[in-house]
Amino acid sequence: MSETRLAVADVSVEFTGLRALDHVSLSVDTGEVVGLIGPNGSGKTTLVNAITGQVKLATGTITAAGVTLSGLSPRAIALQGVSRSFQIVRLFNAMTVLENVEAAALAKGAGRAAARERAEALLDEFGLASKADELGDSLSYGDKRRVEIARALAAEPKFLLLDEPAAGMNDAETETLLHTLAALPEKRGLGLLIIDHDMGLIMRLCHRLHVLASGRTIAQGTAAHVRAHPAVIEAYLGKGTAHA
Ligand SMILES: Nc1ncnc2c1ncn2[C@@H]1O[C@H](COP(=O)(O)OP(=O)(O)OP(=O)(O)O)[C@@H](O)[C@H]1O
């Protein structure tokens, strides 16, 4: 079992009357960016929820750096070095940007001075230093998304899972985010799993792609391999959408 791998093995998730994930296996190694794509309702967010303990598994196991995550609480999973952002941003609106990021470092056990230092460095990295004292609630949508990623990183994760980080960003913001995210795996020694509907972003950022349709893996591999895969073409064209 690899000490540097997030491994999802044979995972199924069931909701009443619906198998949202059907025996899915996927891995993310340290230093790697893996894109999770697929049409609407294909199970992408459910897979991230399964990894972070928000939904129960009907089959399978999930390990991070050799530690079994399945069965642990979301908080215990976070403490094992798995951080995430949400499709719908969840900031502490009554706290400042700096406090939002600092809180995540404190929750992971950093002392006050170290947490402040870590939070300030992250705000710099994400172009948010000038907004440090603004309340979460007052930020633009793009800024909220950046704060959420900075907050996830404040926990110094081994694996970072991002659910549509570029949603609602304009082209310039997306471009800046692309460069920031691309640098993360090497700079911070982490593995990145990213869901996004922006295929330009996904194709440029990811080393490998994993494609879901109706809860099943239909293709995986490089962008070139996946783009040419008949099942992928059919899944997208069949639904009349290119939404990932
Ligand atoms: N808590 C839940 N209870 C019941 N059904 C759910 C729940 N969460 C998700 N589903 C269903 O599971 C399926 C997969 O949903 P999921 O949100 O994982 O898809 P997705 O690929 O992330 O979609 P999108 O691209 O639209 O965000 C959908 O049919 C969805 O309606």
Distance 193 CA to ligand 1 centre (A): 18
Please give the torsion angle defined by the CA atoms of residues 35, 41, 47 and 48, in that order, rounded to the nearest 10 degrees.
70
Of 59, 61, 143, 139, nearest to 94 (Cα)? 139
Distance 233 CA to ligand 1 centre (A): 21
Residue identifier of the C-alpha nearest atom 6 of ligand 1 = 15
Residue identifier of the C-alpha nearest atom 4 of ligand 1 = 15
What pLDDT sits at residue 1? 58
Decide if 39 contacts 116 (C-beta within 8 A): no
Distance 20 CA to ligand 1 centre (A): 7
How many other CB atoms sit within 10 Å of the CB of residue 170? Answer: 10
Residue identifier of the C-alpha nearest atom 3 of ligand 1 = 15
Residue 185's contacts (CB-CB under 8 Å, 6 or more residues apart) are: 30, 31, 32, 33, 191, 192
Structure tokens at 126: 């994400």
Distance 156 CA to ligand 1 centre (A): 28
What is the CA 165 to chain-centroid distance, rounded? 8
Give the pairing type, strands 67-68 and 59-64: antiparallel
Structure tokens at 156: 């110094």
The model's pTM is 0.92
Of 241, 56, 105, 244, nearest to 165 (Cα)? 244
Of 67, 123, 127, 124, nearest to 98 (Cα)? 123
What pLDDT sits at residue 238? 66
CATH 1.20.58.2240 assigned to domain 1-81+157-244? The reply is no
Of 242, 203, 208, 219, nearest to 24 (Cα)? 219
pLDDT string in tens for the chain (244-residue length): 577 999 999 999 999 989 999 999 999 999 999 999 999 999 999 999 999 999 999 999 999 999 999 999 999 999 999 999 877 777 777 889 999 999 999 988 889 999 999 999 999 999 999 999 999 888 888 888 899 999 999 999 999 999 999 988 889 989 999 999 999 999 999 999 999 988 899 999 999 999 999 999 999 999 989 988 999 888 886 654 444 4
Distance 21 CA to ligand 1 centre (A): 10
What pLDDT sits at residue 38? 94
Residues with CB under 6 A from ligand 1: 15, 18, 20, 38, 40-46
Task: Determine the residue of 19, 22, 45, 162 to mutate for testing ligand 1's pocket, defined as the one with the most ligand atoms within 8 A of the Cβ atom.
Answer: 45
- What is the domain partition of the chain in residue ranges? 1-81+157-244, 91-156
Distance 13 CA to ligand 1 centre (A): 11
